[in-house]
Structure 1
Amino acid sequence: MSSPAPARPRPEHVPGDLLAAYLPGSFFHRSPRGTLLADGVHTVVPGGPDGPGGPGDAAAATLAAVAEAGHPDPVVVGAIGFAPDAPRSLLVPALVRRAEPGAGPGRPVRVPEPPGGPWSVHHVPDPQEYADGVRQALDLIDAGGLEKVVLARALELTSQAPVSVPNLLTRLVLADPGAYAFAADVTEPGDPALRTLVGASPELLVSREGDTVVANPLAGSTPRSDDEDENEARVAALRVSAKDRAEHALVADQVVAVLREFCTEVDAPAEPEVIGTQTMWHLSSRITGRLADPSMSALHLAHALHPTPAVCGVPLPAARDAIRGIEPSDRGYYSGMTGWVDADGDGEWVLAIRSAEVCDRTVRLFAGAGVVAGSDPESEVAETRAKFRTMLRAIAVEAVA
């Protein structure tokens, strides 16, 4: 008979110290729930074809095995790409350190120097080609069978010097303390060049704590202005925008429908609220549920929800086909998910948006916009331009088209 698992260590650190301790190759996750920093590799979660439980089953089996072997704090951390056949990077780290929210300032964290530069910038595709892609999507919507599709475009930036991921992560954290900041090693096996997924997402895919489940989909957006009067006007317009409210309802309704499969009760607001980031305003719905089956971990729930219509579309198969047919490059980890899950099934997974993949001197970042009936191609270009600003400001690159 196996001995009981040791008690989970209580946080002994403060957020600033964990941010300062981050090194390339570590895993970092900061949210309103707390900060987690993980180092080293104890066990890699096996990949391969997924069963009905997807990566949640593989993570649960791995966690059970390492707990049985005496690991004092088994947690799976990492990232999963957007497409069904996308790569994923999940592992049990050798060391995990945590800090509770509001645990004290720790050492002062100052804004570091920009992470690289000077920069050259390449658009994939260029803005006009992206607008043409939006027109293709609108033709598909008009033809029937597709209600919404999220189309993304990329910027590939090259620095004259290697990019400092710790500097980039710190600048993201300090720029928007309310965001879900993350950094995950997504290096392909056998590749000697370290590749890091880093970002500051505004969107919680799902969290689980005990039997409490929370999801917070965002859909329907408008760029933030530097003028406060203009901001008030934009927020007011977003609240009543028929196009944005319809887009948001597609996402929120789908999240509610999925959670009802796993929860005894689901509570969703009757009306979305407007939340702001440093660069955008979003329609937001905080959806909560009471979990029915304790074996359903946070990663099981994330796999069931992903991809939501906030990053893919409705209906899902048609939206995936449209993305494959219109977008000129593979998204990789962009609009996938990153987070953690522990041996109890608790955890937190966020959408990998407002993010970039960094490798040596290159930074590849994406931004997307939801296309529905009534979308304007030039407005969608402007929305992606605004969403790029989160990463571009952290990189210290002037606005690009």
Structure 2
Amino acid sequence: MDTAVNGAQQKAPHAKENEQAQFGVDPASGFFFTSPFRSLTTQGCFATITLPAAGGDDINGEFQQAVRHAFDDARLAGIKKPVLCGAIPFDTRQPSSLFIPQHTQWFDREAFMAAQPAADADGPEIDALNELPAQAPFMQMVSDAVAATASGELDKVVLSRLLEIETRQPVDRQALMARIIAQNPNGFHFHVPLEDGALLGASPELLLRKSGAQFYSNPLAGSARRDADPQRDREVSEQLLASSKDNVEHDFVTEGMRQVLTGRCRYLNIPTAPELLSTTTLWHLSTPIDGEVDCRRENALSLACLLHPTPALCGTPTLKARDLIAELEPFDRDLFGGIVGWCDAEGNGEWVVTIRCGTVQGRRVRLFAGAGIVKDSSPESEWHETGTKLSTILRAFGLNQG
């Protein structure tokens, strides 16, 4: 396990990790995360945790022990209130990208947003763009998944596709984050530094927030493209809310979450019907969930690992859906479709699903979008849905597909 927790031998400065005056808010320097709940930015790295998060829901398991040891080492080194932040991949058997920063700054999101200058709408020019997979093989993937659901092999599977882009100039991540924030003001904004670049985006979906004994989740499943005309936009939202296909897809998600959460809660509140949630480009079916944990040792990361991957990002049953994704998708999702967020040593924290996002490495950009497939899914409709999501990210990144 000594290869999973690294850097704890580094000495951290004392006492000032939470003072806003210590350093400015730079969305593209270290880890950056905004939320209506709490927002933070970090500097430096005290220790990294690369141990896979599989089994991370077990309070007494190897992963949770590694997290506790890292927190203990940080406090011994003078970090009074250590925070663990970063990202966990879609497949929790793969290495995690988590770390404890040397300095953590909490800031007010509304004040930060109000102080942001106007973002430059234009990003670097696209030199080359590759769709993975292209339309015909993606639609065949969907057909294969529909056949699997129709046969009763599984109820739902989420299939995704990537855009691989090379730009003419290196991507300015600070300008990119400014565009993402400006175009998605209500999203959960994040920037996660990686060895070879960064993961960044604006997720609309809260996986898990925990404060004290209370926790909250807001799964999304089922979506429709918004319309510029107010009357038509209202009709689109009403059609989504009445759609039997989208409601079935959404029910798989909430029922799956009910099954895994029930045994860990004093109480659990899951509304019987979804409501509408809107972003600048999409309507989503949304269910706000809240509850209270039964065990005081439960923490935000243990609950996030319990839920991840949800049927909204993987499918149901989870293991069968994950296997079918590995069989059908011609790429490794890595951090796409995973979770990003933070937790503290007291068990509080917040994790969102890693969607509406991309990775940047110099002039290389990769964008990700997926769609839930059930027995009534149409391959052409799912192609257009993922296309709408990718177009949204392209615009946020300031990239013109042409």
Scaled by the length of structure 1, the TM-score of the pair is: 0.90
Give percent identity, aligned residues only.
35
**DSSP 3-state at the match of 1:302:** helix
Does residue 1:166 correspond to 2:174, yes or no? Answer: yes
Match of 2:237 in 1: 235
Contact 2:32 2:190 in 1 (8 A): yes
Residue of 201, 204, 207 corresponding to 1:202: 204
Contact 1:80 1:336 in 2 (8 A): yes
**DSSP 3-state at the match of 1:214:** strand
Does residue 1:353 correspond to 2:355, yes or no? Answer: yes
Letter in 2 for 1:143: S
Whole-Å separation in 2 of the counterparts to 1:237 and 1:314: 25
Whole-Å separation in 2 of the counterparts to 1:275 and 1:290: 24
Match of 1:68 in 2: 76
Contact 2:274 2:286 in 1 (8 A): yes
Match of 2:7 in 1: none
Residue of 18, 27, 44 corresponding to 1:22: 27
Residue of 155, 161, 166 corresponding to 1:153: 161
Q: Per-residue CA shift, 1:323-366, capped at 9, x if unaligned?
A: 01110111111010000001111000000001111111011011
Whole-Å separation in 1 of the counterparts to 2:65 and 2:263: 17
Match of 1:178 in 2: 186
Q: Per-residue CA shift, 1:169-210, capped at 9, x if unaligned?
A: 1111111111011010132xxxxxx32110100000101011
Whole-Å separation in 2 of the counterparts to 1:340 and 1:198: 15
Count of matched residue positions in the alignment of Structure 1 and Structure 2:
385
The CA RMSD measured in Å over matched residues stands at 2.2
Q: Per-residue CA shift, 1:55-101, capped at 9, x if unaligned?
A: 44422331123123321230001001111322321110011111134
Whole-Å separation in 2 of the counterparts to 1:199 and 1:289: 28
Contact 1:114 1:167 in 2 (8 A): no
Contact 1:119 1:159 in 2 (8 A): yes
Change in 2 beyond 3 A, CA 1:104/1:121: closer
Letter in 1 for 2:106: R
Match of 2:220 in 1: 218
Contact 2:300 2:348 in 1 (8 A): yes
Structure 1 residue 103: Cα displacement: 4.2
Match of 2:149 in 1: 141
Whole-Å separation in 2 of the counterparts to 1:280 and 1:92: 35
Whole-Å separation in 2 of the counterparts to 1:95 and 1:134: 45
Residue of 255, 265, 268 corresponding to 2:267: 265
Match of 1:335 in 2: 337
**Structure 2 segments unaligned to the other structure (5+ residues):** 1-13
Whole-Å separation in 1 of the counterparts to 2:112 and 2:260: 38
**DSSP 3-state at the match of 2:355:** coil
Structure 1 residue 113: Cα displacement: 5.3
Letter in 2 for 1:41: C
Structure 1 residue 104: Cα displacement: 6.5
Letter in 1 for 2:233: N
Scaled by the length of structure 2, the TM-score of the pair is: 0.90
Match of 2:346 in 1: 344
Letter in 2 for 1:86: Q
**DSSP 3-state at the match of 2:99:** strand
Q: Per-residue CA shift, 1:84-133, capped at 9, x if unaligned?
A: 32232111001111113434766442203534223421000012211111
